[in-house]
Amino acid sequence: MSGIKTLQPTLLWKWFSQICAIPHPSYHEEQIAQFIMHWAKGKGFYAERDEVGNILIRKPASEGMENHVPVALQAHLDMVPQANEGTVHNFTQDPIQPYIDGEWVKAKGTTLGADNGIGMASALAVLDAEDLEHPPLEVLLTMTEEAGMEGAIGLRPNWLQSEIMINTDTEENGEIYIGCAGGENANITLQIERKLNTFQHSYQVGLKGLSGGHSGGDIHTGRANAIKVLARFLAKLTQEQPEFQFALSDIRGGSVRNAIPREAFATLAFNEDLATLQQAVSEFEGVLKHELVKVEPNLSLTLKPVENADTVFSQNTTQKVIHLLNVLPNGVIRNSDVLENVVESSLSIGVLRTEEEQIKGTILIRSLIHSGNRYIGSLLKSLVTLAGAEVQFSGYYPGWEPHNDAPIVDLTAKIYANVLGYAPTVKVIHAGLECGLLKKIYPDMDMVSIGPTIRNAHSPDEKVHIPAVQTYWELLTKLLAAIPAK
């Protein structure tokens, strides 16, 4: 971890190293929140937490900028916890282990937490620095963004004094975001009929080694969803080899709702010749490697014996879950008619698990427009009705409507062009940002989102580009210095 402290800008990377050292997955941000509060109060800053745990820190303006427009820097405290198979890591207790690989910083076997740890580190570095020009400054650090934006939803009204907000959760150098998709969870439940397991064999089929990634930012890339691909295999086995009779005793995949699942597993109980299943697995793996040779070069479909369970799903339940998952829409539903090369609406099943009496799946619906969200919700209602399942919707958050005439957008673009040597791209992102929710609470606040290049967020392949962090820091500090007087 000491290696990244040698990178430039030193103060930002020092803070990122400290953030990596303190566990902070969603719903477990309290330790890092207390550390930051203790530090801020020790520096003599105003520091307070609201009813849901969000942190607000205020720093007076640098000399000569007291009468300039006040600005808030905003980041979220939590990170997505994902680990490679075989990596033993307790995200609530163990530190992230970052390391330098050429021009990138990565983590050993886990997500790095550059989303949004770099943004948080930059905000804390601005607070920590004594040589920067800036207007009256606020830093807002929100709780549990990755698991449902709960901090932004519960943010205290009339708390912030700033007129401009700079969100630090963008993940592409040279781009300025002024809008984002809204989202909602669709929670599907299918009741399980069980029967006594009288089968001779139980084998687990496992799909592993997929790329995963952000279910918003990466949804257009064609990366495979492990849950969907496994369902396709099971449906193929049922439809093309009906003589191979089996029952499921378990099916699961994914671990967080906003990441494309990298792994999925199903346990099959059967009496038939094992060679039939072995051949089906081998042939389907070959099909996948041919189809997905570019986007999923490391996939593998495995088969291993497991202990027989006491009960298995009935044939009715086995067929229902297979066919429900196989026909479940997933991925890009529609591209925007208004914004070029932007996804309008999508969905991704992120988590599937078997409980004692139910199979539960969590889907994240995203759309730039409310009607798109409602359309996908209607599709899912029709589908689960046909399958004899149920769906409940929760955690809705609005999109961030773009306003490219806001003065902060023009100023950011001007400063960024000077830093880059070319004009930045001003755009809307399909991933969710907290700005939409924050704009509802603070409708008169102008907002913009910037950040460095981060690849493969929400997966253990996550990495942040070191030169882009330097560019981002230069933009951020010059932008703060250029904020106009009131």
The one catalytic residue in 138, 145, 146, 250 is: 145
Distance CA 74, CA 476 (A): 12
Report H helices in 341-464: 370-387, 407-420, 435-441
Distance CA 163, CA 153 (A): 20
The residue ranges of DSSP E strands in 376-420, in sequence order, are 390-397
Quote the pTM value: 0.84
Q: Which residue has the tokens 């001779």?
A: 200
The arrangement of strands across the sheet holding 164-167 comes to 46-49, 55-59, 137-142, 71-76, 164-167, 446-449, 175-180, 425-429
Quick one: CA dihedral 242, 188, 292, 375, positive or negative?
positive
Flag whether pLDDT at 206 surpasses 60. yes
Q: How far is CA 478 from the centre of its chain?
A: 29
Tens digits of per-residue pLDDT, 428-465?
A: 999 889 999 999 999 999 999 999 999 999 989 999 99
Distance CA 430, CA 272 (A): 47
| Close Cβ partners of 32 (under 8 Å, ≥ 6 residues apart) | 19, 22, 23, 24, 77
291 with 177: CB under 8 angstroms? no
What percent of the chain clears pLDDT 90, i.e. is strictly above it?
Answer: 92
152 with 435: CB under 8 angstroms? no
Distance CA 355, CA 250 (A): 9
**Mean pLDDT in the chain?**
96
Helix (H) or strand (E) run with residue 35 in it: helix 30-42
Flag whether pLDDT at 2 surpasses 70. no
Burial class (CB in 10 A: 0-12, 13-18, 19+), 473: buried
Token pair in block for residue 440 = 């509802």
The residue ranges of DSSP E strands in 307-389, in sequence order, are 311-313, 331-335, 343-354, 358-367
Query: Euclidean distance between the first and final Cα of the chain, in Å?
Result: 42
Q: Is 78 part of the annotated catalytic residue set?
A: yes
| Close Cβ partners of 422 (under 8 Å, ≥ 6 residues apart) | 174
Tens digits of per-residue pLDDT, 14-73?
A: 999 999 999 999 999 999 999 999 999 999 999 999 999 999 999 999 999 999 999 999
Q: For position 184, what pLDDT does the model report? A: 95
- How large is the C-alpha radius of gyration of the chain? 24
3-state secondary structure of 238: helix
Q: How far is CA 303 from the centre of its chain?
A: 30
